Structure 1
Amino acid sequence: MRYQGLISDMTVRPATDSDRTALFDLHRAVFHGHIEKIWGWGESCQRSNFAAEFAYAITSVIEVDGQTVGYFQVLDKDDRIHVQNIAVSHEFQAKGIGTQILNGRQLKAAARHVSHFEMEVISCSNVTNWCRS
Structure 2
Amino acid sequence: MKGYQIRNGEQRDQEWLYDLYCKTMKPCIEATWGWDESFQRKGFCENLNPTKWKIISAGHKELGGFVLNQNDDHFWLEMIIIKPEYQRKGIGRRVIEYLQDTAGKKSLPLKLSVIKANPVKPFYQKLGFKQFDEDDAFYKLEWNS
Q: Give the TM interval when normalised to the shorter protein.
A: 0.7 to 0.9
The superposition leaves residues 52-76 of structure 1 with CA deviations (integer Å, 9 ceiling, x where unpaired) of: 2223983111112212221111121
Q: Percent of pairs identical after alignment?
A: 25
**Which of 104, 107, 110 in structure 1 is aligned with 2:101?**
107
In structure 2, the partner of 1:21 is: 15
Deviation at 1:43, TM superposition (A): 0.8
In structure 2, the partner of 1:31 is: 25
Structure-2 separation of matches of 1:124 and 1:89: 18
Please identify, of 71-80 and 49-58, the stretch whose mean Cα deviation from structure 2 is larger.
Answer: 49-58
In structure 1, the partner of 2:54 is: 60
The superposition leaves residues 35-86 of structure 1 with CA deviations (integer Å, 9 ceiling, x where unpaired) of: 1111111111111111122239831111122122211111212321000111
Count of aligned positions:
126
Secondary structure, aligned partner of 1:121: strand
Gapped regions of structure 1 (runs ≥ 5): none
Tell me the TM-score normalised to structure 2 length: 0.78
**Which of 77, 98, 105 in structure 2 is aligned with 1:83?**
77
Gapped regions of structure 2 (runs ≥ 5): 127-145
> Which residue identity lines up with residue 107 of structure 1 in the other structure?
D
Deviation at 1:32, TM superposition (A): 1.2
Please identify, of 70-79 and 93-102, the stretch whose mean Cα deviation from structure 2 is larger.
Answer: 70-79
Structure-2 separation of matches of 1:89 and 1:125: 15
In structure 2, the partner of 1:120 is: 113
In structure 1, the partner of 2:65 is: 71
Please identify, of 65-74 and 123-132, the stretch whose mean Cα deviation from structure 2 is larger.
Answer: 123-132
Deviation at 1:23, TM superposition (A): 0.5
When residues 94 and 80 of structure 1 are mapped into structure 2, their CA distance, relative to the original with a 3 A threshold, is same
Secondary structure, aligned partner of 1:120: strand
